[in-house]
Amino acid sequence: MFDRPLPPSPGAREHNSIDLVNSEIRLPGGKIVDALSTPDATTAWLIECGLLSEGAQLQSYCQNRLVGLRNDLRQVFTACVTGSEVDPRALDGINAALVAVPHASLLRHAPGEGFHRSLEHPVTQLIEHAMSVIAEDAATLLAGDEAQLLAQCEAEPCTRFLLRTHGRRQWCSTRCGDRVRAARSYARKRSQATLS
C-alpha cells in the first residue's frame, strides 16, 4: 500500500484514468510525490486500484510503460480542459493501450469449485491488462458526458485533475481550496492597502 499525500480528487475513485494522472502530485515548496517512482511503488499503486492481484511484482519496464501512459493521458486531459490541440502521439499511446489485451475474462474450472471467470494473464501481460483498463476508462470519460466536468486544480502548484462536483469548484481538495481562498484574501488585502 502506498501513502497518498492528498485524498483522491473528485472523480478519481470512479475513474482510474484520473487517479493515474494524479499519481504524480506537485506540492508547495517544489516537492513532487510520485506513486509510480519505483517498480515496487507502481505495483502497490496498481494493487490498491484493484488492477493487479496481491503477490504480483512488476519490473522497471512495466513501470516505465505505465508512466508513459500517464504522460499521454495528462496531455490529452490538458487538451480537453484547455481546448488546445491534441498531440496525435498521445492519442496513439492511449489507443495502443486500449488494444493491447482483450478485456474478456476467461472461463476456468477448478475441481471441487466448478466454473468461474477470471482475468488471469501471464506475468508479461499484467501491465498490458492494467493499461488497457485505464485507457478504456479514459476513452469512456473523454468521449462521454462527463468530459465537460473535467477540470484541473487551480491551486498553484497543484496540477491534479478532477471532475467538478459544483459549477464553481476548481480545486481538487479542501487543502488546495484553502490555499486558493487564502491567496485571494491576501491579494484583496494587499490591493486595499495599495489604494489607501
Instruction: Say which residue, 84 or 172, is predicted with more confidence.
Output: 84
Say what the pLDDT of residue 154 is.
86
Angle between helices 60-82 and 39-48 (to 10 degrees): 60
- In the predicted model, is pLDDT for residue 152 greater than 80? yes
Rounded to 10 degrees, the C-alpha dihedral 173/177/178/182 comes to 160
Identity of the amino acid at 139: A
Is residue 121 within 8 A of residue 46, CB to CB? The reply is: no
Across the range 144-171, mean pLDDT stands at 87
Query: What is the pLDDT of the chain when averaged over all its residues?
Result: 87
Q: Which residues contact 142 (CB under 8 A, 6 or more apart)?
A: 76, 77, 80, 150
The 10s digit of each residue's pLDDT in 62-96 is 999 999 999 999 999 999 999 999 999 999 999 99
Instruction: Say which residue, 3 or 149, is predicted with more confidence.
Output: 149
User: How many Cα atoms sit within 13 Å of 43 on the Cβ side?
Assistant: 13
Say what the pLDDT of residue 190 is.
78
Least confident piece of the model among 57-66, 87-96, 101-110: 101-110
The 10s digit of each residue's pLDDT in 7-45 is 888 899 999 999 999 999 988 888 899 999 999 999 999
Say what the pLDDT of residue 73 is.
97
Say what the pLDDT of residue 196 is.
63
**Residue 25 to residue 34: CA distance in whole angstroms:** 6
> Phi, psi (5° rounding) for residue 67?
-65, -40
108, β-bridge pairs: 116
What percentage of the chain has pLDDT greater than the value 70? 91
Cell 496498481, located at residue: 46
Confidence of residue 103 (pLDDT cuts 50, 70, 90): low
- In the predicted model, is pLDDT for residue 116 greater than 90? no
What percentage of the chain has pLDDT greater than the value 90? 52
Across the range 176-187, mean pLDDT stands at 77
Say what the pLDDT of residue 89 is.
97
- The model's pTM is 0.81
